[in-house]
């Protein structure tokens, strides 16, 4: 999966045809949510992270779309050809997000740091953090406050009356550029 994502990224950035494998394991036909994360190597600084949180497309198609989109993450300049050997690729395959029933602070008891990714929805605003974000935002309150900000909501306690969905991921990553 990571090798495929890397191939898509390199072909897309170079303006070449994207090659789709003719034969794949059956799992690639399953509809799954997926995110592709690009990090600068060796610093580990985020360089792009885009995905499809819901199982709307077959995994192979979702990985292709997320990989191309991650190179164009609007938070960063488009990925350049000169950066291809300076990034690592991670593919996170998501479980289907499940709505959490909670009232205010009792949400804190229903989320698991390091295990749960969260989607916050309030009105037209939404934000998503993969479980990997817990490494940088280790407390539940800090994680939720920053998720509010990511959703474009500047009330740090907006999560208390928002819709919250949780999911888990299976992540696959390169150890260094181009090496799994």
* Long-range contacts of 84-87, Cβ-Cβ distance < 8 Å, separation of 24 or more: 84/9, 84/10, 84/13, 84/177, 85/177, 85/178, 86/40, 86/41, 86/177, 87/38, 87/39, 87/40, 87/41, 87/47, 87/177
Query: How far is the C-alpha of 160 from the C-alpha of 40, rounded, in Å?
Result: 34
Domains of the chain: 2-95+169-173 (3.30.700.20), 98-167 (3.30.1490.150)
Query: How far is the C-alpha of 126 from the C-alpha of 149, rounded, in Å?
Result: 10
pLDDT tens for the chain, 180 residues long, are 999 999 999 999 999 999 888 888 899 999 999 999 999 999 999 999 999 999 999 999 999 999 999 999 999 999 999 999 999 999 999 999 999 999 989 999 999 999 999 999 999 999 999 999 999 999 999 999 999 999 999 999 999 999 999 999 999 999 999 888
What single-letter DSSP state applies at residue 133? G
């Amino acid at each position: 999966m990571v090798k495929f994502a890397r191939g898509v990224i390199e072909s897309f950035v170079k303006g070449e045809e994207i090659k789709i494998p003719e034969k794949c394991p059956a799992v690639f036909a399953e509809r799954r949510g997926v995110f592709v994360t690009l990090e600068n190597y060796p610093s580990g600084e985020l360089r792009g992270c885009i995905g499809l949180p819901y199982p709307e497309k077959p995994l192979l198609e979702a990985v292709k779309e997320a990989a191309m989109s991650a190179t164009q993450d609007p938070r960063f300049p488009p990925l350049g050809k000169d950066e291809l050997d300076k990034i690592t690729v991670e593919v996170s395959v998501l479980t289907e997000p499940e709505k959490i029933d909670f009232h205010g602070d009792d949400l804190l008891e229903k989320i698991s740091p390091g295990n749960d990714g969260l989607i916050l929805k309030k009105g037209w605003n939404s934000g998503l953090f993969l479980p990997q974000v817990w490494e940088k935002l280790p407390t539940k309150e800090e994680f939720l406050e920053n998720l509010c900000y990511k959703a474009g909501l500047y009330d740090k306690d907006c999560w208390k009356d928002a819709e919250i969905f949780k999911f888990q991921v299976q992540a696959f990553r390169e150890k260094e550029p181009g090496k799994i």
